[in-house]
Structures are given as C-alpha cells and as structure tokens.
Structure 1
Amino acid sequence: MKSFLIAASIFSIAACVLADLSDEQKQKVVAFGKECIAETGVDKALVEKARQGSFSDDPKLKAFAFCLSKKIGLQNASGDVQVDVLKQKLSSVVSSPDAVNSLISTCVQSKGSPEETAFHTFVCYYEKTPTHVSIF
C-alpha cells in the first residue's frame, strides 16, 4: 500500500493536482499510480527518490511521469500539455495568477517526446517552487 501512495504522490505537481480533490478522487489517483507502475515497470525506489527531489534519467521513470500526467489530465494521449487544466490545478494551490503563469511559461516546454515533456515539467516545477504540497 505504501508504494502506491508514493507512486500517487510522485513529484510535487501531481500533489498540487490532488490538493483540491475529494477523498474519492484522491483514491482514483492512488489507483492511477498503481496502474502506471504496472504499465511502465518503473522501479519503485526511483519513484520514491523522485518524490524526494532526486530525479534519475531513467526511461521507465519518464514513462511513469507521462502515464500519471495523462491519467490526471495534465497531458493528452499525444503528449500535449493541457495548459488550461494545469492552470486550473495550480491556481488552487498557488495564490498569485502571475506566479501560476510564470511557472507554466518556465516549466511547460515540449521536449521531443511526451515522456520527456512530462518528466521535465515535473522536475522544473519541483525546482521552481519552495514549498511542495503533500496530501499523504
């Protein structure tokens, strides 16, 4: 069970998405984490390290990031970032609209593949925010 909670809370951006959700919705995200671990075969230790800010340049971790990003709604199946969804979710935890826009313009950049885009968006957000929201 602990590994699923870790998986569901990977990267701070995912936690921000979860901050404004009901308990039922949070349970769905836990299930998404479980599904993404199974689908990608990512090493659970890499997920835990990423949650703590130590990001490995690992293809399965990047696939996990994309999988979770899709399931949460931050990216579509083609890998396009859903900026309106991201803006809405960030606005629930970042009080300044200027800060939200700055994070999006700094962190949301296409990186050649959906997995790279998801991974780099999460890493950038983690590095650019002083407080990391946690729901668990």
Structure 2
Amino acid sequence: MMRCLFLVAIILVAVRAQILSQSEKEKMRAIHEGCMKETAADPALIGKAVKGEYVDDPKLKNQIFCVTQKIGFTDESGEIMKEQTVKKLTEKFKNEKVINAAVEKCVDKKATPSDTAFEFVKCLHAYAPEGLDIMALMA
C-alpha cells in the first residue's frame, strides 16, 4: 500500500512538472493516431481507458497492444519487456525501486498479446491518479 501511495505521489509531481516535453507529447499523439488507423479503436473507449475505465473490447485491446509495442514495452509476441519498461519509466520518474515493484506486480502473461498488454496497462493505471493518461507517460 505504501509503495502504491508513493508511486501516486511521484506521478502527481511528474504531471505538475510537465514531465513530457512538447516533442514527446507529439510523438505519443502520432503513435496513438497511427495505432488508431491500424486498429479502428473507438475513441470513446480510449477516452474511458484514460480515465481508468477499461472496457473489454478487442479493438481497444489491440490499440493498447499497438501502443505498448511501438513504445517498446512489449515485443511482437506480447511479451512484456520489463527491463526496458522500468528504464523508460525511471527516466521520467526517477525512482527505480518503486517503478520496478509496480512493473513486477503488473506483468502477467495472458492468452493473447493484446490481452497481456491490456491487463499490463490497466494494472499500471491502478498506480496512477484518476484522469491521468498512463499511456502518454510511457513515451
């Protein structure tokens, strides 16, 4: 519980500090838009996911898998690339111990690559404050 609260505090500080540069925000926007063209995911469902409401929808799952693959958190088989994920998140939040614990807790291989990515991001989002686009923080 303490780790969860600490991670939330780190994320809040990061958001207030505008942790993503303008170019990183543009890069994430391009990734999201490119994946939307590939997956035809419903923007309303993506918006719900941003707010922490993950609807069990195949296109949304494919969208999340596409994004996590393009940012290097999963490989093409859906395997979570833990070291790379921790490294990228640590670059933004500067607390490898807490981030490593969160990533370890959230890695759980599911039946399909899309299901694995979906559940991974959903779990990471549980560590973030409401309304935070966790996918944008993974740039």
Q: Please report the TM-score for the alignment, with normalisation by the length of structure 2.
A: 0.74
Conserved? CA contact 1:69–1:118, under 8 Å:
yes
2:78 corresponds to which residue? Answer: 79
In structure 1, runs of 5+ residues without a counterpart are 1-11
What CA distance in whole angstroms lies between the structure 2 residues aligned with 1:128 and 1:122? 10
2:59 corresponds to which residue? Answer: 60
User: Residues 93 and 133 of structure 1: is their aligned pair in 2 closer, same or farther, counting only changes over 3 Å?
Assistant: farther
Deviation of 1:122 after TM superposition, in Å, equals: 0.7
Conserved? CA contact 2:50–2:133, under 8 Å:
no
* Bigger mean CA offset, 53-62 vs 79-88: 79-88
What CA distance in whole angstroms lies between the structure 1 residues aligned with 2:129 and 2:20? 22
Conserved? CA contact 2:35–2:66, under 8 Å:
yes
1:45 corresponds to which residue? Answer: 44
What CA distance in whole angstroms lies between the structure 1 residues aligned with 2:22 and 2:128? 25
In structure 2, runs of 5+ residues without a counterpart are 1-10
2:25 corresponds to which residue? Answer: 26
Conserved? CA contact 2:51–2:133, under 8 Å:
no
Conserved? CA contact 1:20–1:92, under 8 Å:
no
1:4 corresponds to which residue? Answer: none
Deviation of 1:49 after TM superposition, in Å, equals: 0.7
Paired residues in the alignment total 120
Identity of aligned residues (%): 33
User: Residues 26 and 129 of structure 1: is their aligned pair in 2 closer, same or farther, counting only changes over 3 Å?
Assistant: closer
User: Residues 21 and 128 of structure 1: is their aligned pair in 2 closer, same or farther, counting only changes over 3 Å?
Assistant: closer
SS at the partner of 1:92? Answer: helix
Deviation of 1:21 after TM superposition, in Å, equals: 5.2
What CA distance in whole angstroms lies between the structure 2 residues aligned with 1:21 and 1:52? 19
Q: Deviations over 1:56-78 (max 9, x none)?
A: 00111000000001111111112
* Stretches of 4+ aligned residues off by more than 6 angstroms: none
Conserved? CA contact 2:78–2:112, under 8 Å:
yes
Q: Please report the TM-score for the alignment, with normalisation by the length of structure 1.
A: 0.75
What CA distance in whole angstroms lies between the structure 2 residues aligned with 1:24 and 1:90? 17
What CA distance in whole angstroms lies between the structure 2 residues aligned with 1:130 and 1:52? 9
